Amino acid sequence: MLMSLFNEAISATCLIEIPLLGRKYTWTNNQTPPLLERLDWFFSSVNWSAAFPNTFATSLVRDTSDHSPCVISISTTQPRSNVFIFANVWLEHRDFKEEVEKAWLTMVNASDKARKLTAKFKILREAQKDWSGKNPHLQLQ
């Protein structure tokens, strides 16, 4: 009951929840087995989110209290994603095959075949990033 009242109250205020990264619970009753709950919450107004779109919370190790200390970081810029994205349009480029071959044939020192394969993929990924970076028309819009 209280849970839905809380959620309704949040909706009514238009406050936006600030995500807590890497932790589901912020409180324990320290019993065995422990009861774990998320009791600590962070919200921002719509204006805040517009001013600081990259506001998020993380936590520190809990020791002296039954609550985890949480740290809200406030930033205007979105963290740059480091995810590698393959664009299908690359396949149609005349240099593509040559670029892949060049990267794939790079010598790697690895103790076993699995590591060697991983190392080759890593080199290929970086090479593709470089190559597409130098050719703006190859980048995703």
Q: Does 96 bind other proteins (CB under 8 A)?
A: no
Minimum CB distance to other proteins, residue 119 (Å): 23
Q: Does 85 bind other proteins (CB under 8 A)?
A: no
Site string for other proteins, 14-43 (x = CB under 8 A): xx--x--x--x--x--------xxxxxxxx
Q: Which amino acid is at 137?
A: H
Q: What are the structure tokens assigned to 91, written together?
A: 């396949």
Among residues 23, 31, 32, 82, which is the contact residue for other proteins, using CB under 8 A?
82
Q: What are the structure tokens assigned to 110, written together?
A: 């690895």
Q: What are the structure tokens assigned to 116, written together?
A: 């060697």
Q: Does 106 bind other proteins (CB under 8 A)?
A: no
119: how many CB neighbours lie within 10 A of its CB?
Answer: 14
Minimum CB distance to other proteins, residue 139 (Å): 20
Query: What is the rounded CA–CA span in Å between residue 19 and residue 55?
Result: 8
Minimum CB distance to other proteins, residue 85 (Å): 14
Query: What is the rounded CA–CA span in Å between residue 132 and residue 93?
Result: 11
Q: Does 74 bind other proteins (CB under 8 A)?
A: yes
Minimum CB distance to other proteins, residue 116 (Å): 28
Q: Which amino acid is at 140?
A: L
Task: Tell me: cis bond preceding 33? Omega within 30 of 0 counts.
Answer: yes
Query: What is the rounded CA–CA span in Å between residue 134 and residue 139?
Result: 9
Q: Which residues bind other proteins (CB under 8 A)?
A: 2-3, 5-7, 9-10, 12-15, 18, 21, 24, 27, 36-48, 51-52, 54-58, 60, 63-77, 79-82
